[in-house]
Homo-oligomer: A and B are copies of this chain.
């Protein structure tokens, strides 16, 4: 084994031991540590800024873009936001220990299905150093030990943040940061399924693909959001315009922003000119199918590729469909199974859409921007899963737990 392998395997062993201690902490004990973590982040703000300045200097030398440097940057406000985020996690209800189900069998054995921590979780992420604190706090709250592996650009910042968190009274090795940032460290982490129960990659498609190819343990993926809004024949046109504009423009760079607008042919002549004006007011570039172009005179023709693209900027692709079923078939074939919206006053049409669209979140008459753990009331989210196993859609604390069957009897034997 190389030094890198030995170090990371050793961290895995330590994480497993820490997980057994964490599983025994009460909610009050965990919350007290979380508040101490928030305090440590605030108190060590000067250190964090010095560490971050090093990362920024290296980044500038390496010629990182301004957008990258901005993502990397810490300032007083961002440090306070990190600390406040941890404090907020301390206020949330702890799912661990909840009895999900319980029943008695005819032979008298009593079965309880109880929420328990998953155990050990690896988080692999890119340039934003605040992920160190966010992910560690959510995993800690749910009694999981965390092994963090951040991007090379943020190494000094991440080490300083993880150091502050780990010094706040958590069991030893409950939160560990891998001090290597090369690709091999991802491969080693993804290969050690004896020590790690789950990996969550937080970052772009390339990172997720790499982890999926390498991982032996379960991976929860947060892929693209190619979100659709379908304006139905029975849509309230004013509402459809408002929801299209809000879903597309309220924050265009995120996964629950709208990318594709589908319009029922019967309302196209009324709806498209109106939505076209509203979108252009917000500087949105419109790419339309040949039939929609007739009603959107300023739009560009859409290419085939546009239907499969997460634009993440002020661009929308617009297509006319002949029926709700055609809209659903288009969404299931071209979407990313994240969030899709129908605007309609026809409850039967809404029901059919919600039941046949194969996406984590299906909405009637609501902006796609509400597909979010905070908006769902989860208090915090570790991401929006595009997987169907274990966690689908916004992932809160509950999705960071597993369960165990606790069975009590009085000597029952199997005949």
Binding site for B on A (CB under 8 A): 20, 23-24, 103, 105, 109, 111, 118-119, 193, 197-198, 212-213, 216, 218-220, 236, 239, 242-243, 246, 250-251, 332, 350, 354-356, 358-367, 369-371, 375-377, 387-390, 392-394, 402-414
Contacts and interface: CB of A to CB of B under 8 A. Distances in A.
Given A364-B407, A366-B408, A412-B366, A388 B118 contact: yes
A407 to B, nearest CB: 5
Contacts of A392: 402-405
Interface of A is mostly: mixed
Given A111-B376, A242-B411, A413-B243, A405 B365 contact: no
Contacts of A239: 410-411
Contacts of A250: 413-414
B109 A409 contact: no
Tallying the copies of this chain within the complex gives 2
A89 to B, nearest CB: 20
B389 A402 contact: yes
A372 to B, nearest CB: 9
A387 B105 contact: no
Contacts of A198: 388-389
28 contacts: A23-B356, A24-B355, A24-B356, A105-B375, A109-B366, A197-B389, A198-B388, A218-B218, A218-B389, A242-B411, A246-B414, A362-B404, A362-B405, A362-B406, A363-B407, A364-B406, A364-B407, A364-B408, A365-B408, A365-B409, A365-B410, A367-B414, A369-B414, A370-B412, A370-B414, A388-B402, A390-B390, A392-B403
A361 B405 contact: yes
A395 to B, nearest CB: 12
Contacts of A377: 103, 105, 111
A392 B250 CA distance: 40
